[in-house]
């Protein structure tokens, strides 16, 4: 019997074409372009050799039990892998891969930059204002924003996305950049692109704080009420990493009280739920977890997930194996 690859949701065709071209395997794609119901996922997992999962699919003990001993690999269609129980997978000898890459880093960095400028220039507020027919003539103090040039950008996490953001903002917009991470980034310090600070120091000094860390036990609620109080009243918080890195209730309270000037949020603590209180705020730009949503990047992720599966079936260590 051929190895069966379960794809839990239709993905861009680059990866599917690669898998379907491999005559050794059978490709089983959940046909509806929506989150696969848990019951259906458990049913379809039975007997699968590999599962190409997306970040909304919980790959846990229950799923591994349902799949049975045939399951040898989880190819996660995401950079993050907090939806996968890595310890349980390792215990069962199941290989786990993800889909990092320069394309994703560049796209998420672009989205972050778009949020920075949208917040600074109040673009979403201005758009709503104009659409509502409130514009009756130019005024010298109407919808005043703030410049980005000359400000300080604080980057929390200096991985691929953080590095890309450093280079673009330093070269393109003349901002002063500070960063923090569990491990210092020698490259950006050597090139004098960014200065290393502790998280507390970064929050106090930055005009824009952008978060680029994975969701781990150590990063859950990394930004909470205490940290938000450290930020300037004129500063903005941008989160394109994972929702639970920020204490959402604390953020909403800080925004309501004007403790900070605003926020750009692409990810949420209890996705797909976006709190009504957050949606009502004028000083917030919200997007529905679309920081990596470009045709080029999503095709690259699709291809990378498939390449990981093919490499595994060839008896090789997949290029993006999670350790």
What amino acid positions are annotated as catalytic residues?
A: 242, 271, 289
CB 187 within 8 A of CB 159: no
> 155: closest CA among 81, 107, 212, 101?
212
Cβ neighbours of residue 196 closer than 8 Å, sequence gap 6 or more? 178, 179, 180, 181, 184, 185, 189
Edge to edge, the sheet with strand 50-54 lists 26-29, 4-7, 50-54, 73-77, 95-97
Enumerate residue ranges in the chain where pLDDT < 50. Answer: none
Residue with tokens 């990092």: 100
Q: Could you give the 3-state DSSP secondary structure of residue 264?
A: strand
Predicted pLDDT at 269: 97
Listed by start position, the domains of the chain span 4-98+295-313, 102-286
Phi then psi for 66, rounded to 5 degrees? -65, -40
pLDDT in tens, 87-100: 999 999 999 999 99
CB 111 within 8 A of CB 266: yes
Question: Nearest 10 degrees: CA dihedral of 286, 301, 308, 322?
Answer: -30
Predicted pLDDT at 303: 97
Architecture per CATH, domain 4-98+295-313, reads as: 3-Layer(aba) Sandwich (3.40)
Q: At what angle do helices 102-120 and 295-313 cross, to 10 degrees?
A: 150
Cβ neighbours of residue 260 closer than 8 Å, sequence gap 6 or more? 228, 231, 232, 233, 235, 236, 237, 254
DSSP 37: P
Predicted pLDDT at 113: 97
Q: Could you give the 3-state DSSP secondary structure of residue 253?
A: helix
Looking at the domain 102-286, which fold is it?
Answer: Rossmann fold (3.40.50)
How far is residue 193 from each of residues 148, 161, 171, 177, measured CA to CA in Å? 17, 15, 9, 7
pLDDT in tens, 51-84: 999 999 999 999 999 999 999 999 999 998 999 9
Strand 26-29 and strand 236-239: the pairing is unpaired
Establish whether domains 4-98+295-313 and 102-286 are of one fold. Answer: yes
What is the spatial distance between Cα 245 and Cα 197, in angstroms, rounded to a whole number? 19
Predicted pLDDT at 215: 93
């Amino acid at each position: 019997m051929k190895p069966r690859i379960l794809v839990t949701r239709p993905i861009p065709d680059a990866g599917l074409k690669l898998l379907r071209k491999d005559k050794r395997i059978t490709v089983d794609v959940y046909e509806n372009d929506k989150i696969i119901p848990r019951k259906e996922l458990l049913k379809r997992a039975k007997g699968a050799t590999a599962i190409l999962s997306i970040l909304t699919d919980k790959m846990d003990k229950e799923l591994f039990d349902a799949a049975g001993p045939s399951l040898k690999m989880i190819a996660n269609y995401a950079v993050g892998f907090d939806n996968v129980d890595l310890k349980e997978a390792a215990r069962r000898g199941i290989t786990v891969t993800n889909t990092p890459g320069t394309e994703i880093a560049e796209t998420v960095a672009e989205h972050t930059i778009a949020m920075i400028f949208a917040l600074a220039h109040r673009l979403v507020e201005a758009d709503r204002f104009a659409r509502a027919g409130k514009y009756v003539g130019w005024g010298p103090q109407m919808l005043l924003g703030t410049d980005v040039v000359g400000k300080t950008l604080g980057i929390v996490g200096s991985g691929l996305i953080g590095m890309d953001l450093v280079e673009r903002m330093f070269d393109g917009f003349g901002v002063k950049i500070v960063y923090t991470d569990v491990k210092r980034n020698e490259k950006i310090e050597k090139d004098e692109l960014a200065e290393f600070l502790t998280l507390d120091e970064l929050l106090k000094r930055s005009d824009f704080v952008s978060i680029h860390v994975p969701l781990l036990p150590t990063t859950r609620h990394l930004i909470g009420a205490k940290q938000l109080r450290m930020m300037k009243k004129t500063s903005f918080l941008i989160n394109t990493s994972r929702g639970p890195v920020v204490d959402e209730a604390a953020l909403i309270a800080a925004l309501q009280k004007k403790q900070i000037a605003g926020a750009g949020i692409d990810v949420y603590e209890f996705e797909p739920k976006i709190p009504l209180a957050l949606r009502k705020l004028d000083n917030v730009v919200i997007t529905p977890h679309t920081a990596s949503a470009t045709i080029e990047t999503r095709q690259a992720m699709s291809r990378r997930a498939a390449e990981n599966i093919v490499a595994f079936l060839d008896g090789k260590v997949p290029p993006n194996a999670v350790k």
